């Protein structure tokens, strides 16, 4: 298993995995247009891979992406008296079914945790599903105070 940052050659697989992830947890979306989604996701991924804001980590097995985790870096406003480091927002965490429960996702997360420490990012924030809470806990993540939200009407 090779854990690495995603490259342009991975885009088609990443698009399909995003689609599969969505349908797995929300079957009501299966009648949406794959072609329309593919175009939008293709643009997003092309831009993300070129940016210094997004980092998409993948676990690859013989050319097949088995798992991925997306990280977006968010810059903080500088504060007097301390060096300001960005924090990371983790999203789109997914392992394809045939690779689940074998430690693949934890290996990707461990790689990211090492990368976070090495780059001195301040913290990582993730909103896990109820099913994923134990996955994060066993990898060193803890619950934090719930953030507030605003939904414009």
Is residue 71 a part of any domain in this protein? yes
Is residue 28 a part of any domain in this protein? yes
Domain count, the chain: 1
Is residue 152 a part of any domain in this protein? no
Is residue 147 a part of any domain in this protein? no
pLDDT at 131: 87
Is residue 153 a part of any domain in this protein? no
Alpha helix (H) residue ranges in 51-131 = 104-118
Supply the range of the domain harboring residue 97.
Answer: 2-137
CATH of the domain at 38: 3.40.630.30
37-67, pLDDT tens digit by residue?
Answer: 999 999 999 999 999 999 999 999 999 999 9
122-141, pLDDT tens digit by residue?
Answer: 999 999 888 899 999 999 99
Is residue 40 a part of any domain in this protein? yes
72-121, pLDDT tens digit by residue?
Answer: 999 999 989 988 899 999 999 999 999 999 999 999 999 999 999 999 99
Is residue 132 a part of any domain in this protein? yes
- pTM for the structure as a whole: 0.91
Is residue 145 a part of any domain in this protein? no
Q: Which of 93, 72, 75 is nearest to 84 (CA)?
A: 75
Q: Which of 126, 140, 143, 149 is nearest to 70 (CA)?
A: 126
Residues whose CB falls within 8 Å of the CB of residue 2, separated by 6 or more in sequence, listed in order? 59, 60, 61
pLDDT at 130: 87
């Amino acid at each position: 298993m090779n854990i690495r940052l995603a490259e342009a050659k991975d885009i088609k697989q990443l698009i399909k995995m995003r689609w599969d992830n969505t349908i797995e947890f929300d079957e009501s979306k299966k009648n949406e247009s794959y072609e329309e989604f593919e175009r939008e996701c293709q643009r997003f991924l092309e831009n993300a891979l070129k940016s210094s804001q997004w980092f998409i980590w993948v676990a690859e097995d013989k050319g097949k992406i088995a798992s991925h985790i997306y990280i977006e870096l968010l810059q903080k406003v500088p504060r007097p008296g301390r060096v300001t480091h960005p924090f990371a927002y983790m999203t789109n965490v997914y392992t394809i079914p045939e690779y689940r429960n074998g430690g693949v996702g934890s290996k990707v997360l461990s790689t990211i945790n090492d990368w976070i420490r090495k780059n001195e990012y301040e913290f990582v924030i993730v909103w896990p599903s109820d099913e994923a809470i134990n996955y994060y806990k066993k990898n060193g993540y803890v619950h934090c105070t719930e953030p507030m939200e605003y939904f414009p009407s």
